[in-house]
Amino acid sequence: MDLGFIGLGRMGANMVRRLLGGGHRIVAYNRSPDKVKQIVEEGAEGAFSLEELAAKLIPPRAVWLMIPEGDPVNQHIRELKPLLARGDIVIDGGNAYFKNSVARGKDLAESGILFTDVGTSGGIWGLKNGYCLMIGGDESTYRRLEPIFSTLAPPDGYLYCGPSGSGHFVKMIHNGIEYGMLQAYGEGFEIMKASPYKLDFGKIAHLWNQGSVVRSWLLELAEAAFQKDPTLASLKGYVADSGEGRWTVQTAMEEDIPAPVITLSLLERFRSRQEESFSAKVIAALRQEFGGHPVKEAVHP
């Protein structure tokens, strides 16, 4: 297939490489020209503006966005709209809020441009293992794009989920579940670290993947991480979030669905970013005031 691809970050560039390996013609664009030049050396055709990208594609055109949610997506769609024609397709493969995807689909439809939202999972390993794709939008558009999906995904690795927004909705829930799983693994290893036993966490992660009920790819990654750094001493315990956990919790609240594990795992990420918790200082002060409980004095330089 003929495909325009916008966004050549770590994940986007590898997706282009996998598509090139599958025999697709890719016209690639990135705001950093160096990344375009690099992927051209690997077989893609380069575009150094959105105008050039649109001009190089064979109608009806399809353009895949692999860029951060929010203003970057909105801006690229605004710039693409006058360059595309009725029957062309915009695909958003990033981690977008599903309600935004519904709105973008409606906006593009006014110009006769089709929109497909694709929740994409696989990270930096997707080039080798394939990407798990959760797809929303018009079903006939999905069928047109299926050769792309079948190249990017492993066997049984892509699914048409339903109307506009459903692909990003399913990916949002996927990432919410991921938050809870990561938190559970993190807490388990921390309890073991605090124990009186001198445990080899890499070997334990490997062991648990041999038929145990908690075996997973995440544990394989934990084993690899512990092999490189047995106590993770080189890392700071700062955990970012890219939005999907927040959106999952927000949606659970809107639907009156109790989701305590995912909610608390999100809050733990917030806590990880504090050098020191002021709320903990308040609690310590109150305990000292009402019960005379001991406190630890702050050390000032």
Domains of the chain, start order: 2-163 (3.40.50.720), 171-272 (1.10.1040.10)
Please report the pLDDT score of residue 91 as a whole number: 98
Please, how many CA atoms are within 13 Å of residue 8, restricted to the half-sphere of its CB? Answer: 24
Looking up tokens 């084993």 gives: 223
pLDDT at position 7 over 70: yes
Q: Residue 45, exposed/middle/buried by CB under 10 A (0-12, 13-18, 19+)? A: middle
Across the range 284-292, mean pLDDT stands at 79
Please report the pLDDT score of residue 242 as a whole number: 80
Rounded CA gap, 277 and 288, in Å?
A: 17
The two tokens of residue 26 are 């890719």
Q: Phi/psi at 263 (nearest 5 deg)? A: -65, -45
DSSP for 14-27, written as a single string: HHHHHHHHTT-EEE
Please report the pLDDT score of residue 301 as a whole number: 59
pTM for this entry: 0.91
pLDDT digits (tens, 9 = 90+) for 72-112: 999 999 999 999 999 999 999 999 999 999 999 999 999 99
pLDDT digits (tens, 9 = 90+) for 193-240: 999 999 999 999 999 999 999 999 999 999 999 999 998 988 888 888
Question: What is the band of 298 on the pLDDT scale with cuts at 50, 70, 90?
Answer: confident
Please report the pLDDT score of residue 198 as a whole number: 96
Please report the pLDDT score of residue 281 as a whole number: 80
Question: What is the band of 114 on the pLDDT scale with cuts at 50, 70, 90?
Answer: very high
Please report the pLDDT score of residue 165 as a whole number: 97
Give catalytic residues, as residue numbers. 171, 178
pLDDT at position 186 over 90: yes
Mean pLDDT of the chain: 94
pLDDT digits (tens, 9 = 90+) for 157-166: 999 999 999 9
pLDDT digits (tens, 9 = 90+) for 8-28: 999 999 999 999 999 999 999
Q: What percent of the chain has pLDDT over 90?
A: 83
pLDDT at position 288 over 90: no
Question: What is the band of 279 on the pLDDT scale with cuts at 50, 70, 90?
Answer: confident
Rounded CA gap, 101 and 116, in Å?
A: 8
Please report the pLDDT score of residue 280 as a whole number: 78
| Long-range Cβ contact pairs of 73-82 (< 8 A, separation 24 or more) | 73/100, 73/104, 74/104, 76/6, 76/50, 77/104, 77/107, 77/108, 79/50, 80/50, 80/54, 81/108, 81/111, 81/113
Per DSSP, helices labelled H in the chain are 10-21, 33-41, 50-56, 71-80, 98-109, 126-129, 139-152, 166-193, 201-208, 217-228, 244-254, 260-272, 278-291
DSSP state, residue 31? S
pLDDT at position 36 over 90: yes
Cβ neighbour number for residue 214 with a 10 Å cutoff? 13
The secondary structure element, H or E, covering residue 89 is: strand 89-92
Please report the pLDDT score of residue 52 as a whole number: 98
Rounded CA gap, 11 and 260, in Å?
A: 31
The two tokens of residue 231 are 């106590």
Distances (CA, A) of 217 to 101, 122, 209, 224: 29, 11, 8, 11
Rounded CA gap, 172 and 166, in Å?
A: 10
The two tokens of residue 92 are 């958003």
pLDDT at position 115 over 70: yes
Residues 5, 29 contacting (CB under 8 angstroms): yes
Strand partners, 159: 134
